Amino acid sequence: MNKRRILAMILTICILTVSVSMTFAAETDIVTDVTTKAQTLNKLGMLAGDGKGNYSLDSNLKRSEAATFIVKLMGKTKEVADKNSQYINTGFHDIKATDWFAAYVGFCRENDVISGIGNNKFGPNSNVTEKAFLTMTMKALGYTSDDFNWNSVYQKAYDIGLVTGGDYNGKTQDNVNYTRAEVVDTMYTALTLKVKDTDNTLLKKLINEGQLEPKVVADAGLSDDKLPVEISKVSVQGSQWIKIELNEPVKQLKDTDISVYENLKWTVLSTKIISQTDKEIRIKTDYQKADLEYVIKISNLIDEDNNYVKEIKSKFIGFENKAVKSDLFKISKIEQLSASDLAIYFTHPININAEQPECYSILKSDETLIEGNKNNISVKVMDGKSDAVIIRVKNFTFSQDVEYTVRIKGSLISAYGTYLGQEAGDQMNFIAKSIATEAFKLVGLTPLNNKSIQLDFNKPINKVTAEQVFSYYITELTIGTPIQIIKATTTNNTYGTDCAVVLTIAGTFDIKKAYGLMINSISDATKQNKIEEQSYSFNPTDKAISDMKIASIIPIDLNSISISFDRKLNPKTAEDIGNYSVLCLNNTSYNISPVKAVYTNDFPNTVKLYFAYNKPMTAGYMYKVRILNTLQDYTGTALTAPLEYTYIANNVVKTKPEIVKAAFIAKDTIKITLNKDIALDVPNILTSNYYIQTIGDDNANKMPLAITYIDTNTIVLRFDKIDFSKQFYLRYNEIKDITGETYSGDQINTAIVIGE
């Protein structure tokens, strides 16, 4: 044998080997693909195997078996079972009513899905041919004999995509050796095709009709969800309240479908669904820990298209009760006080202009429940607070666990002269709690010393009536001798701000006698509840009044000191500069007196003294503060003797007041915040002292129309229209600090920011 023949033989063998290998590989791929489809149909309950993954795909399918396959493909298994007695009588001579497949065949015949083989016979044990099974499948897809005939079965199947391959186009010869593998392929394809005259596939039709569970379909890997359900937003609305927003509507969930747990720790919080509407779910949890990261998991979701999602997750941070902070006039927070009362806090100070019921309304699910007017809502600025009102809704109580909205109109104006939400108004939601409506009452009467008693109430009181001495009447019980009350002062207790009154008498109580108290008339902060002509009794204490003591003196700089006392002060006497004098112990001829005493409710035990700019202290020198006995504490009790306290001056030189922030707090208003106290005096209060300048254009200046001196650190300027497309500097001519020293504003430009 020559070399050419040997080489030719080797080449032929190689080609045959490769060909066989490729054929085997192709057949293996096909089998694997069909096996996967068979497994999918098995998961859907449409195909049974032997439990070991064997579906006899190489064998043929009997006509009786084909009927059961089609019934399952149509999702009619339950109907066949429910109407078994109706369908077992098929009318075919070769099927007995007791045959296991009788009802399936009967259903198919009654619904014109199958026909017999002639002579009123069905041929249950005969193998089903391809054209016969395609006919049944197309009828499962909604096609009828009007759409095709026996000769056009292949053509119709090809046209609708039930079969592929060009050999089917125009084919008429039946395939009598139709295998289970081909049956599986046909059924699987049918599920993906649209039912005649609809936009739904057969699979989607079965899901929509409830014949297939979305979860089963998803587990089988057949979900065609083009927009999987996702968590769009998690809003933590309270220490137990979470609102979940989804990207599409889902069907009703169960409490067990939602879980919340600490991230990485698996500490689970109990959850309960409070409401679910379309794309929003509100749940209640155990108390969350502030600033801790949690995971929320939602399982077993079914969207409106019946697509199933096993689970989705999102993270959130545990609730921390943070009020809204803003340069603009907005609602800061809402606190529920009772079943009918709310405290509403704002980002700007307010005054009686905020007491307009017409500005307020209460909504639920965007529907107005209570329209603001004097018949439905009362509004009162909260005593002791410059930024809050108390509103009471009349003839209505908030329901526990229900979300409400407080909406306030843009006509509400702040103490700065700004409109709420820049005239657009504002609103905020809150979750109602179960707070029993408790009557306004006296809950405690405590003798403080031999001159004073404290009355404790369970709610904030109206300071106007509470601080009137004629609202009370004290008598010695034995003979009814009236006792003169010289002072009534509101204070705080465990129930909150301004929930107590201290009464101070002219003389002293006799420890050996009992006394009676009559509350003539006093109202709570809402002015809706009163205590009138109620009598109480008490036994006094012999504890003598102790004088106030100076707790500390801290030099701020060479022109100011801060004095702290051991109790709260009477504001009027605390700001009286005549109560203070300072002697230099290193130079007894050098005495200084304050030009200003500043007291604020934020620091009720403290007063700051300012000395004239041209009479500073000397660093390192020792000074003695002398406080006259006309200074009173919060009860109205004066010192029995002057107080003295020594301190050493520091070496901090008084510095010029600087603007730490200039911000637009409304479209025509600028708030100026300074780092030092300034005087309520010219030039500070002159509109001509200030102007704004467009950055990049030194000639574009604008002067304010009005100025409001808010406090020693705050000034508000009002302008006409401002073009916010431009940037501005704030400039001033002069500024006078609280000691009376005036500083030039030349060369000082403060960039004005847009309020946040």
Tokens of 69: 């396959």
Q: Quick one: pLDDT at residue 384?
A: 72
pLDDT, tens only, 368-399: 999 988 899 999 888 778 899 999 998 898 99
Check which CATH number belongs to the domain holding 410 and give it: 2.60.40.1220
Residue 14 has pLDDT above 90, yes or no: no
Same domain? For 214 and 69 the reply is yes
Average pLDDT over residues 361-371: 90
536 or 23, which is more confident: 536
Residue 53 domain-assigned (yes or no):
no
Instruction: Return d(Cα 624, Cα 113) in angstroms, integer.
Output: 111
Same domain? For 337 and 418 the reply is yes
Q: How confident is the model at residue 28 (pLDDT cuts 50, 70, 90)?
A: very low
pLDDT, tens only, 61-100: 999 999 999 999 999 999 999 999 999 999 999 999 999 9
566 to 349, 451, 603: CA distances (angstroms): 29, 19, 12
Q: Quick one: pLDDT at residue 9?
A: 54
Look at residues 129, 116, 663 and name the one whose alpha carbon lies nearest to residue 347: 663
Instruction: Return d(Cα 63, Cα 59) in angstroms, integer.
Output: 13
Same domain? For 426 and 449 the reply is no
Same domain? For 114 and 177 the reply is yes
Residue 427 domain-assigned (yes or no):
yes
Residue 138 domain-assigned (yes or no):
yes
Q: How confident is the model at residue 526 (pLDDT cuts 50, 70, 90)?
A: confident
pLDDT, tens only, 221-245: 887 776 788 999 999 887 888 999 9
Q: Quick one: pLDDT at residue 21?
A: 39
Q: Quick one: pLDDT at residue 25?
A: 36
Average pLDDT over residues 107-128: 94
Instruction: Return d(Cα 362, Cα 149) in angstroms, integer.
Output: 68
Same domain? For 70 and 203 the reply is yes
Q: Quick one: pLDDT at residue 320?
A: 76
Residue 288 has pLDDT above 90, yes or no: no
**Beta 753-754 vs 659-666: how paired, if at all?**
parallel
Q: Return mean pLDDT, the chain.
A: 89
Proportion of the chain above pLDDT 90, given as a percent: 62
Proportion of the chain above pLDDT 70, given as a percent: 94
Domain boundary among 431, 465, 490: 431
Same domain? For 215 and 237 the reply is no
pLDDT, tens only, 690-715: 999 888 776 678 899 999 999 999 99
Same domain? For 199 and 72 the reply is yes
| Whether 679 contacts 737, CB under 8 Å | yes
Q: Quick one: pLDDT at residue 222?
A: 82
Pick from 30-34, 39-43, 128-132, 134-138: least confident: 30-34
Residue 19 has pLDDT above 60, yes or no: no
Same domain? For 207 and 244 the reply is no
pLDDT, tens only, 176-226: 999 999 999 999 999 999 999 998 899 988 988 888 888 888 888 887 776
Instruction: Return d(Cα 42, Cα 550) in angstroms, integer.
Output: 88
Residue 16 domain-assigned (yes or no):
no
Euclidean distance between the first and final Cα of the chain, in Å?
97
pTM of the model: 0.59
Same domain? For 313 and 451 the reply is no
Q: How confident is the model at residue 6 (pLDDT cuts 50, 70, 90)?
A: low
Residue 276 domain-assigned (yes or no):
yes
pLDDT, tens only, 118-173: 999 999 999 999 999 999 999 999 999 999 999 999 999 999 999 998 889 989 99
Instruction: Return d(Cα 603, Cα 504) in angstroms, integer.
Output: 23
Pick from 60-74, 100-114, 476-490, 688-702: least confident: 688-702
Same domain? For 675 and 750 the reply is yes
Residue 49 domain-assigned (yes or no):
no
Instruction: Return d(Cα 617, Cα 613) in angstroms, integer.
Output: 10
Q: Domain range spanning residue 298?
A: 231-317
Q: Quick one: pLDDT at residue 213?
A: 84
| Whether 657 contacts 610, CB under 8 Å | no
What's the number of domains the chain is made of?
A: 6
pLDDT, tens only, 648-687: 999 999 889 999 999 999 989 999 999 999 999 999 999 9
HEC readout, 52-111: CCCCCCCCECEHHHHHHHHHHHCCCHHHHHHCHHHHCCCCCCCCCCCCCCHHHHHHHHHC
Q: Quick one: pLDDT at residue 4?
A: 53
Q: Quick one: pLDDT at residue 15?
A: 45
Same domain? For 627 and 723 the reply is no
Q: Quick one: pLDDT at residue 81?
A: 95
Q: Quick one: pLDDT at residue 52?
A: 65
Q: Quick one: pLDDT at residue 572?
A: 92
Pick from 264-278, 352-366, 445-459: least confident: 264-278
Same domain? For 285 and 356 the reply is no
Residue 366 domain-assigned (yes or no):
yes
Domain boundary among 518, 538, 558: 538
Average pLDDT over residues 398-411: 91
Domain boundary among 475, 505, 538: 538
Most confidently predicted of 51-65, 86-100, 484-498: 86-100
Look at residues 404, 274, 387 and name the one whose alpha carbon lies nearest to residue 339: 404
Residue 505 domain-assigned (yes or no):
yes
Widest CA span of the chain, in angstroms?
150
Q: Quick one: pLDDT at residue 179?
A: 94
pLDDT, tens only, 581-626: 999 999 988 888 899 999 988 899 999 999 999 999 999 999 999 9
